Amino acid sequence: MKTKILLKESEMPTHWYNVMADMPTPPTPPLGPDGQPVGPEALSAIFPDELIKQEMSTERWIPIPEEVRDILRLWRPSPLYRAHRLEQALKTPAKIYYKNEAVSPAGSHKPNTAVAQAYYNKEAGIKRLTTETGAGQWGCSLALAGQMFGLEVRVFMVGISYDQKPYRRSMMKTWGADVFSSPTDMTNSGRSILEKDPDSPGSLGIAISEAVEEAAGREDTNYALGSVLNHVLLHQTIIGEEAKKQLEIVGDYPDVVFAPCGGGSNFGGIAFPFFADKASGKNVRLVAVEPTSCPTLTKGVYAYDFGDAIGLTPLLKMYTLGHDFVPPGIHAGGLRYHGDSALVSQLHYEGLLDAMAVPQLETFEAGVLFARTEGIVPAPESTHAVAAAIREAKLCAETGEPKTLLFNLSGHGHFDMSSYDRYFAGELEDYDYPEDAIRQSLENLPKLKFDLE
Amino acid sequence: MKTKILLKESEMPTHWYNVMADMPTPPTPPLGPDGQPVGPEALSAIFPDELIKQEMSTERWIPIPEEVRDILRLWRPSPLYRAHRLEQALKTPAKIYYKNEAVSPAGSHKPNTAVAQAYYNKEAGIKRLTTETGAGQWGCSLALAGQMFGLEVRVFMVGISYDQKPYRRSMMKTWGADVFSSPTDMTNSGRSILEKDPDSPGSLGIAISEAVEEAAGREDTNYALGSVLNHVLLHQTIIGEEAKKQLEIVGDYPDVVFAPCGGGSNFGGIAFPFFADKASGKNVRLVAVEPTSCPTLTKGVYAYDFGDAIGLTPLLKMYTLGHDFVPPGIHAGGLRYHGDSALVSQLHYEGLLDAMAVPQLETFEAGVLFARTEGIVPAPESTHAVAAAIREAKLCAETGEPKTLLFNLSGHGHFDMSSYDRYFAGELEDYDYPEDAIRQSLENLPKLKFDLE
């Protein structure tokens, strides 16, 4: 009874799949504050040309540079698992497969894009990368990737996480990155916050501002983002491409694909390569799973909004809860983003992708069942996909349908054990749908003439 | 340039290799306090018959039950890596390979034996397993294994670790185990300690006593040990067997094999299958790597001594620093054992295995270089093998010899990041060889008539 389906290194994909080639309508452009599309030149202060090209490209296949593949080989191709023991526990006729992205050194799917971004920046002559990080998943991934290409990496880590979650911070240092507790006194953004509140605990919005400010102000320095943008989702499609090949080996094809959805790179990474088939008529459901407490795709509006909390970025057309919406403090920190990838949003708006929301307690229950059957302790973000797959498998047990399910196990929970502790202690709760907060925040959406038509 | 050498699940070994079949002199028996060999019946209060048989067997190949292989398949066969990037950093002509045992759900090689022990206990009708754990590597592994076979697992965790290292405790709970801060008031051993010192921080010796007492006192309960014993080393030989097959695929064979050595299961696991070749005349060096602060094989004496700190276990003939030797508080907690496996000790005594000791700072320096080249952050125990391989590779760079080196990367350091923090902060030190403490502790060795001949 085969458990893992492995690919040889020689079978690792040579190209990324660009979903923009198969979208029924052209992707919406990012807009400046004047409501005009933002051109490539506006982005070149903080991104290298190759990534800006990828951000706009409609080529279906984009080659993965050999230097990137060399590093990805440290953990890729990642294994696809058949979850025999989970199936048995659920007494389901469904076949459950999961792609295990927790095998990367940083413990999640994030290095897939970090390595590519570091490479293109290195090639462009950049010496330093800046970024922000909350709990540290993304900061770790960029630290690792920067180290591999000899780039200096400077991470602005949300102050309260810097103090309370020291171990991912230690990993970043082990990989040679400089990590700063944000707000710092090294940037105007940081200083302006500290002037008002010397004890500011920081926020992702502030950390982004600091990282972007530093990158924009130095010729040798660029900025790197871990999700949301088109090129980030592009780099993650290696996940779904591998999964397709692996399922082919065992003669299977998914009826449903589930992935957690925060900024969208986790979901787009596994789902887009299957979307290519769907676009040519194949019957496959692609389901983005989000927390009920931050229900962007399921309760948000599809509109132009800022990508960051403060309003410094270009406007993206996306499902949003409003850029100043602050979601409840759930433990899946990676799923607390107010918006979503423009590509995921557009395809969802056009009815081509599904979305569902799962409450926090159900996700932890699913995570514990998964750990007790399959061994791996999943990250709180990943438990959202586990929970969704379990719901579907239970439905199959009722109907007798032997569906084939696939989900993305995007990361392990080794640095999230305090969340499991709180779950076992009965200290976690299901937040109500934060209706009032969302309504209020949506009122603050930027009013754009062309968007109101 | 191939990075990982993978085996198919169908190529996973079907038998464990028993080094006792190839030892030039018969293994020394464990002795009771009366100096007489301990028979199987004395062990049956806490171990199932199959494991006692394996403890004594001289059969060369012992079949791995299909039920055990089914669970091992969740992460095995583990990948063998060619450390291209480490080689480049060292500018060495040596080829460096490492076996990555960090891929198990518990993050180390320990589940290889935990799964087997849980299986044999389950087959023997046992309902509960007890064990002790320090930092939690072994407790996690047994919790995982017990969960897989529906056995209750009760872990006595050293009190100070229970408080200071909560995250492996959380993992044990996630896998369904009951974890107690030792000393507890549930056993005579625990109560006797608490009477004297209500604030006792606990010790591994006390935790062993509690776990053994509970197992001995209940018909449905057995005890499980994570290293030292012959059957434990037997179950780990799957590591070396796989590594041999993987090296064959690339047409290589090691000149030197390195592994960390605490109780010996990590080292025996990778080295013994190569010892089989050495016994038939092949030229291969097998090197056990220990900390200079707990230099059992390099500075201890070969004599009968107790396996535990208190003196409750049978006497084992082994290299020992004296059972009441307390090593300095180095961060490689798994390498602080006063003694060593009887099998490893005997083969070392007979000049068939090599041993070396490495100071703490050199191991962390090696761990950081490894993380920055190969990506994976190694456990402090594993960094000992990394450091030894780096020393040899540097020697090769001087002499120009293109040696083939193999080491066991026994685990990741995700739960040891505070140790890396202290290293970066310059707070770690190299302990001097604790000569006086060892001399004094060796004076307390049990005086056995037959041992003095």
Query: Domain boundaries in chain B?
Result: 76-107+231-442, 111-225
Residues in B closer than 8 angstroms to A79, CB to CB, are none
Question: Which residues does B86 contact at the CB level (< 8 Å), separation at least 6?
Answer: B96, B369, B370, B373, B374, B390, B393
A71 vs A69: CA distance, rounded Å: 5
Paired residues of A293 in beta bridges: none
| Band of residue B299 on the pLDDT scale cut at 50, 70, 90 | very high
Answer with the residue of higher pLDDT: B2 or B50.
B50
Q: Which of B382, B289, B410 is nearest to B340 (CA)?
A: B289
A372 vs B150: CA distance, rounded Å: 10
User: By the 8 A CB rule, do B356 and B289 touch?
Assistant: yes
Helix (H/G/I), strand (E/B), else coil: B239 = helix
Backbone angles phi, psi at A408, to 5 degrees: -95, 110
User: By the 8 A CB rule, do B420 and B377 touch?
Assistant: yes
Q: What is the DSSP string of A245-280?
A: HHHHHTT---SEEEEE-SSSHHHHHHHHHHHHHHHT
**pLDDT value at B302 more than 50:** yes
Q: Which of A83, A106, A109 is nearest to A155 (CA)?
A: A106
Helix (H/G/I), strand (E/B), else coil: B355 = strand
The chain A residue lying nearest B413, using CA atoms, is: A171
> So what's the pLDDT on residue A453?
39
| A271-275, B24-28, B203-207: the lowest-pLDDT one | B203-207
- Distance from the A283 Cα atom to the nearest Cα atom in chain B, whole angstroms: 31
Closest partner CB to A371 (pick from B174, B374, B376):
B174
> So what's the pLDDT on residue A327?
81
> So what's the pLDDT on residue A21?
97
Question: Which residues does B435 contact at the CB level (< 8 Å), separation at least 6?
Answer: none
B220 vs B129: CA distance, rounded Å: 9
A8 vs B6: CA distance, rounded Å: 8
A256 vs A258: CA distance, rounded Å: 7
Q: Which of A1, A4, A82 to mutate to test the interface with B (most CBs of B within 10 A)?
A: A4
User: By the 8 A CB rule, do A18 and B89 touch?
Assistant: no
Q: What is the mean pLDDT of chain A?
A: 94
**Cβ contact B103–A107 (<8 Å):** no
Q: Which amino acid, A338?
A: H
The chain A residue lying nearest B176, using CA atoms, is: A372
> So what's the pLDDT on residue B450?
46
User: By the 8 A CB rule, do B98 and B145 touch?
Assistant: no
> So what's the pLDDT on residue B368?
98
> So what's the pLDDT on residue B448?
61
Question: Which residues does A206 contact at the CB level (< 8 Å), separation at least 6?
Answer: A158, A182, A183, A189, A190, A193, A200, A310
Q: Give the CA distances from residue A345 to residues A36, A297, A354, in Å, rounded to whole numbers and listed in that order.
A: 20, 7, 10
Tell me the two tokens of residue A166.
């020291």
Backbone angles phi, psi at B16, to 5 degrees: -85, 150
Backbone angles phi, psi at B168, to 5 degrees: -70, -30
Mean pLDDT for the stretch of residues A137-143:
97
| Band of residue B48 on the pLDDT scale cut at 50, 70, 90 | very high
**Cβ contact B171–A73 (<8 Å):** no
Closest partner CB to B376 (pick from A1, A105, A176):
A105
**Cβ contact A417–B171 (<8 Å):** yes
The chain A residue lying nearest B415, using CA atoms, is: A414
User: By the 8 A CB rule, do B376 and B291 touch?
Assistant: no
> So what's the pLDDT on residue B452?
41
Q: Which of B115, B377, B416, B424 to mutate to test the interface with A (most CBs of A within 10 A)?
A: B377
Task: Kindly report whether the peptide bond that precedes residue A77 is cis, defined as omega within 30 degrees of 0.
Answer: yes
A123: DSSP letter: H
| Band of residue B309 on the pLDDT scale cut at 50, 70, 90 | confident
pLDDT, tens only, B376-389: 999 999 999 999 99
| A41-55, A57-71, B62-76, B300-314: the lowest-pLDDT one | B300-314
A284 vs A403: CA distance, rounded Å: 11
**pLDDT value at A452 more than 60:** no
B87 vs B277: CA distance, rounded Å: 27
Q: Which amino acid, B250?
A: V
The chain B residue lying nearest A373, using CA atoms, is: B148
Task: Kindly report whether the peptide bond that precedes residue B183 is cis, defined as omega within 30 degrees of 0.
Answer: yes
B54: DSSP letter: H
Closest partner CB to A375 (pick from B144, B173, B374):
B144
Residues in A closer than 8 angstroms to B372, CB to CB, are 147, 174-176
Beta strands in A126-269 (DSSP E): 128-133, 152-158, 178-182, 221-223, 256-260
Q: Which of B333, B198, B197, B311 is nearest to B262 (CA)?
A: B333
Residues in B closer than 8 angstroms to A4, CB to CB, are 9, 73
CA dihedral B252, B256, B257, B259 (to 10 degrees): -150
Mean pLDDT for the stretch of residues B258-284:
97
Q: Which fold has domain B111-225?
A: Rossmann fold (3.40.50)
**Cβ contact A417–B175 (<8 Å):** no
B233 vs B222: CA distance, rounded Å: 19
The chain A residue lying nearest B145, using CA atoms, is: A375
**Cβ contact B421–A170 (<8 Å):** yes
User: Do the strands B80-82 and B95-100 form a parallel or antiparallel pair, or are they unpaired?
Assistant: antiparallel
> So what's the pLDDT on residue A135?
83
User: By the 8 A CB rule, do B150 and A373 touch?
Assistant: no
**Cβ contact B148–A375 (<8 Å):** yes
Helix or strand (DSSP H, E) at B130: strand B128-133
Mean pLDDT for the stretch of residues A55-60:
96
pLDDT, tens only, A90-134: 999 999 999 999 999 999 999 999 999 999 999 999 999 999 998
Backbone angles phi, psi at B404, to 5 degrees: -100, 120
Helix (H/G/I), strand (E/B), else coil: B173 = helix
pLDDT, tens only, B95-151: 999 999 999 999 999 999 999 999 999 999 999 999 999 889 999 999 999 999 999
Answer with the residue of higher pLDDT: A232 or A134.
A232
Mean pLDDT for the stretch of residues A250-257:
98
| B131-140, B294-303, B401-410, B439-448: the lowest-pLDDT one | B439-448
Residues in A closer than 8 angstroms to B9, CB to CB, are 2-4
What is the number of helices (H) and of strands (E) in chain A?
A: 18, 15
Paired residues of B438 in beta bridges: none
Tell me the two tokens of residue B68.
């055990």
pLDDT, tens only, A295-349: 999 999 999 999 887 787 899 999 999 988 888 887 888 888 899 999 999 999 9
- Residue with tokens 């064979």, as numbered in its chain: B253
Burial A406-444 (b: 16+ CB within 10 A, else e): bbbbbbbbbbbbebbbebeeeebebbebbeebbeebbee
A171 vs A179: CA distance, rounded Å: 10
A429 vs B295: CA distance, rounded Å: 50
Answer with the residue of higher pLDDT: B231 or A135.
B231
**pLDDT value at A233 more than 90:** yes
A108: DSSP letter: B
A228 vs A204: CA distance, rounded Å: 14
> So what's the pLDDT on residue B453?
39
| A77-81, A210-214, A437-441: the lowest-pLDDT one | A437-441
**Domain made up of A76-107+231-442: CATH architecture:** 3-Layer(aba) Sandwich (3.40)
| Band of residue A256 on the pLDDT scale cut at 50, 70, 90 | very high
Residues present in chain A in total:
453
